[in-house]
């Protein structure tokens, strides 16, 4: 820093205040520009530990997610990492235990112990009203809604479900089913509410099977669905893990997609193009969601007022080969 200050002809403290973004510093714009240019030329990087001690900040954000192996989280993480880099932050990821979902309050110690400056919360449980009052550190709920307002960063699940229902309705489907995660998880809860309302408006029937966000969860949910007296002509599936379980159960039942049943995934991934029947999907703005959540959290950390964020775009139906007009009145696999 001393070398930078000497080359520009200012005090080292002035360089320090420019690099820390001190808005109270009175300095000529051309002097600020010369400092930044000298920093760039000399390859100077401020000492992160020293800066953290001075500012009482760690420069780190903690993201708590369920099922880190789910491919959607790699896209969300990519958006979060890019936005964090722009804000001079780093992100550490915590994989929530599958067998024991935790409440956000159980992660507050990370902030209190100065391991991170704020929490990005995507835990699986829908939180009871009043729980948020116990969380006194900067935080936002990512792809989830907390019990209050002002800290939620979510995607347009209602818009996604409208793409799904309208696509099937245009093909002539009247009986559809949705296989999704447990109802105590906010995203499946919102999707089910949207599908129920959309089908009611269009005179369509909808049935729901809720199970774990895993291959076995999708498999068992499909077995329950096939045990019903009346079968749907199309199925929407909440995530990629469940989708592969659904495909296994349909294959064992002798069903061919889309001849016997149409199939739509609510997760988009390039791998869907390479299945025996390329799967139609709804592509969600996952990268944009991760970036929006980080920016919202940095605002909280900096003391700016919070507001809910709805990430709408891009939202696209990827039409492949797994949907077709329904076969009249036949059971799946018959």
pLDDT level of residue 21 (50, 70, 90 thresholds): low
Q: Pick the closest to residue 131 from 156, 107, 96, 157 (CA basis).
A: 107
Q: Given a cut of 90, is residue 32 above it in pLDDT?
A: no
* Options 2.30.30.100, 1.10.3080.10, 1.10.10.60, 1.10.260.40; CATH of 2-46: 1.10.260.40
Best CA proximity match to 291, nearest among 40, 79, 31, 66: 79
| Strands, sheet with 139-142, edge to edge from the N-terminal-most edge strand | 90-96, 60-66, 118-121, 139-142, 152-155, 309-311
Question: Considering only CA atoms, which of 280, 322, 325 is closest in space to residue 172?
Answer: 325
Closest CA to 286 of 126, 48, 82, 107: 82
What count of other Cβ atoms lies within 10 Å of the Cβ of residue 274? 8
195 with 164: CB under 8 angstroms? yes
pLDDT tens readout for residues 154-164: 999 999 999 99
Query: What pLDDT shows up at residue 334?
Result: 63
**CATH architecture of the region 157-284:** 3-Layer(aba) Sandwich (3.40)
If pLDDT is split at 50, 70 and 90, which confidence band does 4 have? Answer: confident
Instruction: Output 11 or 250, whichever has higher pLDDT.
Output: 250
Same fold, 57-155+286-313 and 157-284: yes
Q: Which of 44-48, 52-56, 99-103 has the highest mean pLDDT?
A: 99-103
What are the pLDDT digits (tens) for 175-228? 999 999 998 888 999 999 999 999 999 999 999 999 999 999 999 999 999 999
Q: What is the pLDDT of residue 61?
A: 95
pLDDT tens digits, 116-155:
899 999 876 655 555 444 577 899 999 988 877 889 999 9
Average pLDDT for the chain:
87
Which range, 19-28, 33-42, 264-273, is most confident? 264-273
Res. 241: pLDDT tops 80: yes
Which tens digits make up the pLDDT trace of 56-111? 678 899 999 876 677 888 899 999 999 999 988 999 998 876 666 667 777 888 87
Q: Give rounded-to-5 percent helix, strand, coil for the chain.
A: 45, 15, 40
Q: What integer pLDDT is reported at residue 209 of this predicted model? A: 98
Q: What is the mean pLDDT of residues 226-253?
A: 97
- Label residue 53 by pLDDT band (50, 70, 90): very low
Q: By percentage, how much of the chain surpasses pLDDT 90?
A: 59
The CATH T-level fold of domain 57-155+286-313 is Rossmann fold (3.40.50)
Q: Any idea where the domains of the chain sit in the sequence?
A: 2-46, 57-155+286-313, 157-284
- Give the integer Cα–Cα distance in Å for 33 and 10: 13
Residue 49 has pLDDT above 50, yes or no: no
* Helix H or strand E encompassing 78: helix 72-86
């Amino acid at each position: 820093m001393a070398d930078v200050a000497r080359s520009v002809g200012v005090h080292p403290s002035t360089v320090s205040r420019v690099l820390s973004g001190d808005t109270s510093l009175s300095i000529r714009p051309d002097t600020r520009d010369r400092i930044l240019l000298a920093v760039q030329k000399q390859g100077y990087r401020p000492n992160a530990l020293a800066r953290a001690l001075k500012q009482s900040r760690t420069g780190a954000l903690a993201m708590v997610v369920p099922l880190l192996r789910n491919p959607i989280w790699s896209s969300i993480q990519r958006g979060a990492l890019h936005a964090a880099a722009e804000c001079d932050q780093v992100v550490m990821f915590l994989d929530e235990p599958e067998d024991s979902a935790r409440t956000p309050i159980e992660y507050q110690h990370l902030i209190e112990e100065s391991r991170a400056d704020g929490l990005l919360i995507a835990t699986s449980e829908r939180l009871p009203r009043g729980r948020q009052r116990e969380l006194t550190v900067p935080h936002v709920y990512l792809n989830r809604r907390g019990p209050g307002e002002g800290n939620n960063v979510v995607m347009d699940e209602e818009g996604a479900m409208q793409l799904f229902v309208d696509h099937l309705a245009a093909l002539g489907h009247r009986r559809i089913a949705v296989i999704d995660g447990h109802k105590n998880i906010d995203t499946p809860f919102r999707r089910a509410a949207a599908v129920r309302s959309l089908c009611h408006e269009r005179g369509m029937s909808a049935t729901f099977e809720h199970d774990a966000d895993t291959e076995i969860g999708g498999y068992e949910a499909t077995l329950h669905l096939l045990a019903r007296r009346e079968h749907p002509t199309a199925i929407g599936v909440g995530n990629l893990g469940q989708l592969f379980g659904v495909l296994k159960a349909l294959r064992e039942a002798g069903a061919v997609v889309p001849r016997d049943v149409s199939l739509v995934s609510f997760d988009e991934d390039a791998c869907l193009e390479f299945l025996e029947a390329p799967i139609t999907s709804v592509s969600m703005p996952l990268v944009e969601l991760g970036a929006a959540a980080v920016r919202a959290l940095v605002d909280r950390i900096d003391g700016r007022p919070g507001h809910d964020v709805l990430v709408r775009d891009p939202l696209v139906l990827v039409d492949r080969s797994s949907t077709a007009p329904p076969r009249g009145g036949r059971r799946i696999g018959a």
